Chain A
Amino acid sequence: MKFTRILGPIIILLIWFLIASLGTISKLILPSPLQVLTGLIDILAIKADLWLHIGLTLYRTIISFIFACLIGIPIGLLMGYIAPVYRSLEFLVDFFRSIPPIALFPVFLLTLGIGELSKLGVPFYGCVLVIIVNSVYGVLNAPTLRRIVGKVYGLNKAQVFFKIVIPDSIPQVFIGMRTALSLALVLTIVVEMFIGSKSGLGKKIYDYHLVFDSAKMYATIIVTGAIGYLLNQGFIKFERKFIHWTDK
C-alpha cells in the first residue's frame, strides 16, 4: 500500500534520470535530478535566505486566504439562505468569476500601489469568489427537511440559520476553502513574479530563471510544490476532525 503511493514519484524520477543522462536535452532546460538535489540543499541551507522567502509567501497565502474566508463565507451563506440577497448578487459573482484574477493585477497595482496590499489583493480576489460560490451551494444543496424540523419545533429564522443551515453547509464550505487555499498559494507565487516584487518564492523562481540557474529554479519549484502539498494535507486533516460526520 505504502509502496504504491511512492511508485508514481519513483517512475517520474527514473524517467527524469534517463532523459538527463541521455544528454539530448540541454541542462539549462532540464538539469539532472542530482543537480537539482544539490541546488535544493544549497537553497535550504540554514543560513540561506530562502526560508525568509518561504515565510513571506506563506504569510501572503494565509492572510489573503483568511480574509477571503472572513468575507466570502458570510456572503455566500446569506446568498444561499435569503433569496433577495442571492438575486441581487448572483450576476456580480458570476461576472467577476469570469475575470481571471491575474488580469486584474494592473488594477490592483493602480489602486493599491506596488506594495504588499496588491500582492494580497490578487489571491484574495481569486479565493473569495471560489468561497462565495461553494458557500452558496452548501446552503442550496443541504437537505431542507432539517430546516422544516427546526421550523416545526418553533425555531425562528435566525435560529434555523445559525443552528441548522450553517452547520449543514459546512462540508461544502470546506471544499471551497480547500480549493481556495491551493489557489491562494498559486496566485501568490504568480504575483510575486511580477514587476515591483522583491520577495517571495515566485520572485526567487523568476530570479534563478533570469541568471540561468536552472537547478535552483527547479529546486525552488519543488519547494513550492511541497508547501502546496503540505498545506492541502494539513487542511484535509483539520477538515476530517472538524466535520467528522460527513461521508459516514
Chain B
Amino acid sequence: MSSNLKPQLSLQNIEKSYDSQGKKVQVLSNFDMDVYESEFISIFGPNGCGKSTLLHLIAGIIDSDEGTISIKSNAEDVISIGIVFQNYDKSLLPWRTCLDNIGLPLEAENRFSKKERRKRSFKILEELDIDLPLDSYPYQMSGGQKQLTCIARAMIRRPSILLLDEPFASLDYQTRISMQEILQDIWGKTNVTTIFISHEIDEAIYLADRVLLLTSRPATVASWYEVPLSRPRKLEMLSAEPYVKLRTDVLNRFRSEVGK
C-alpha cells in the first residue's frame, strides 16, 4: 500500500495486558498497524493470540495500556466505527423487531424521530441491497438474517471503518458462502474500510486486499500479505495458482507461529 497516503486507521506501539488470576498476561506487544481508506483487511492468527482484543481496542470498547490509535473520519455526519460480533444472538436486542434493531445507532442522537430512523433504516437496506423480514423479531429469523441485521445496523451511520469479529463463524457452510458474497457486495458498494477477523484461512484471503498474520500471544505483526486476486472475487479463484501459493505461504508461516 502506498506509503505517502495518510492511513484511515493507525495503531502505533500498542501494548495491552490483562490481569488473570493475579498474573499479568501480555496480549499485544509493540503492535503497529496502518489501514488505508477503502481497504479490506483480514486478520488471521493462532487461537487466543489477541485478534478480538485488537478489534475491541480499535472500537474503543477497551483502552490500551500504551500507544496511540488514530482514526480519520470521512465526514462530520458519520461515526467512526461500525462493529459486527460473532454472537448475533447476544448482540441483537431480542425485544425489538429487525427494523428497530437496525435503527438503534441513530438513537444515540435525539435528533432522529422514530419515523426518520425507520426511513433511514429502509434506505440503508435498499442501498446495501439486503432483503430482511423487517417486522420479525430476532427469534423469528435465521442465523444469516440476524447477522445481516447486525451488518445493516453497523452501516446505518456510514462508519469510516467496519469491524467484523468472526461474523460468520456460527453459520452453516452454505449460509457462510452466501454471506461472504453479500459482504463482498456491500464492500464493493460502500467502499467502507473493513477489518475482518477470521479463523478460516480461505475466507480471510478470499475477501481481503491484504491479510495480516499475527504471532502467538503476545500478538504482534508476523507478516502482511497482499492478495493477488482481482475483484469481484469468484469462487473459482480459490483454485487459481496465485491463490494456492499465497494460501501455502500464509499457512506455513502460521504453522511456524503456532509451533513456537
Is there an interface contact between A152 and B59, defined as CB atoms closer than 8 Å? Answer: yes
The closest CB in chain A to the CB of B84 belongs to: A149
A154 and B105 contact, CB distance less than 8 A:
yes
B236 interface residue (CB < 8 Å to A): no
Whether A248 contacts B139 by the Cβ 8 Å rule is: yes
Expressed in whole angstroms, the Cα–Cα distance for A170 and B95 within the complex equals 10
Provide the residues of chain B in CB contact with A248, threshold 8 Å. Answer: 94, 139
Chain B, range 76-99, C-beta contacts under 8 Å to A: 79, 81, 83, 85, 87, 90-91, 93-95
By a CB distance below 8 angstroms, the chain A residues around B153 are 153
Complex Cα–Cα for A248 and B79 (A): 33
In the complex the two chains form, what is the Cα distance from A152 to B80 in whole Å? 10
Chain B 105-160 residues near chain A, CB threshold 8 A: 105, 107-109, 137-139, 153, 157
Minimum Cβ distance to chain B for residue A162 (Å)? 10
Cβ contacts A135-154/B at 8 Å (1 or 0 each) = 00000000101101111111
Q: Which residues of B contact A143 (CB under 8 A)?
A: 90
- Residue picked from A145, A152, A248, most chain B C-beta under 10 Å: A152
Mark interface residues in A150-164 (1 if CB within 8 Å of B CB, else 0).
111111100100011
Q: Is residue A244 contacting chain B, with contact meaning CB distance below 8 A?
A: yes
Contacts of A152 in B (CB 8 A): 59-61, 81, 83
Decide if A245 touches B138 in the complex (CB within 8 Å): yes
In the complex with contacts A145-B85, A145-B87, A248-B139, A155-B108 CB distance below 8 A: yes
Interface residue from B61, B93, B95, B157 paired with A148 (Cβ < 8 Å): B61
> From residue A146, how far is it (CB to closest CB) to chain B in Å?
6
Instruction: Give B62's nearest chain A residue, CB to CB.
Output: A148
What are the nearest 3 A-B pairs in CB distance? A154-B108, A248-B139, A153-B105
Contact assessment for B93 and A154 in the assembled complex, using a CB-CB cutoff below 8 Å: no
Tally A-B pairs: CB < 8 A.
Answer: 53
The complex places the Cα of A4 from the Cα of B138 at a distance, in Å, of 35
Instruction: Answer whether residue B246 sits at the interface, using C-beta atoms and an 8 A cutoff.
Output: no
Chain A residues within CB distance 8 Å of chain B:
143, 145-146, 148-156, 159, 163-164, 167-168, 170, 243-245, 248
Q: List 16 A-B contacts (CB under 8 A).
A: A143-B90, A145-B85, A146-B90, A146-B91, A149-B83, A149-B91, A150-B104, A152-B83, A154-B105, A155-B107, A155-B108, A159-B107, A163-B104, A167-B95, A170-B95, A244-B137
The CA-CA distance from A153 to B159 in the complex, in Å, is: 10
B139 x A245 contact (CB < 8 A): yes
A143 and chain B: residue at smallest CB distance: B90
CA A244 – CA B136 in complex, angstroms? Answer: 12
- For residue A160, which residue of chain B has the nearest CB? B108
Closest chain-B Cβ to A100's Cβ sits at a distance in Å of 36
- On whether A154 and B109 interact (CB within 8 A), knowing A148-B61, A245-B94, the answer reads yes
Tell me the nearest residue of chain B to A145, going by C-beta. B90
Whether B108 pairs with A153 at a CB distance below 8 angstroms is: yes
Contacts of A168 in B (CB 8 A): 93
Cα distance A146–B87 when bound, in Å? 10
Instruction: Report the Cα distance A152→B79, complex, angstroms.
Output: 10
Contact of B61 among A151, A154, A245 (CB under 8 A): A151
Task: Tell me which residues across on chain A come within 8 A of B60, comparing CB atoms.
Answer: 152
Give min CB distance, B123 to chain A, whole Å: 18
> Which of A154, A163, A170, A243 has the largest count of B CB atoms less than 10 A from its CB?
A154
Contact at A153–B90, with CB atoms within 8 Å? no
Chain B residues with Cβ below 8 Å from A148 are 61
Instruction: Chain A residues near B139: list those with CB within 8 A.
Output: 245, 248
A145 engages B95 (CB within 8 Å) = no
In this complex, the member of B95, B138, B139, B157 whose beta carbon has the largest number of chain A beta carbons within 10 angstroms is B95
Q: Are A145 and B91 in contact (CB under 8 A)?
A: yes
Residues of A within 8 A of B87 (CB): 145
Q: Shortest distance in angstroms between B167's beta carbon and chain A's nearest beta carbon? A: 13
Q: B61 — which chain A residues lie within 8 A by C-beta? A: 148, 151-152
B42 nearest CB across to chain A (Å): 21
Chain A residues, Cβ within 8 Å of B105: 153-154
Identity of the chain B residue whose Cβ is nearest the Cβ of A246 in the assembled complex? B94
Does A153 lie within 8 Å of B95, measured CB to CB?
Answer: no
Contact A153 B109 (CB under 8 A): no
> A39–B45 Cα gap in the complex (Å)?
78
In angstroms, Cα B20 to Cα A227, docked, is 53
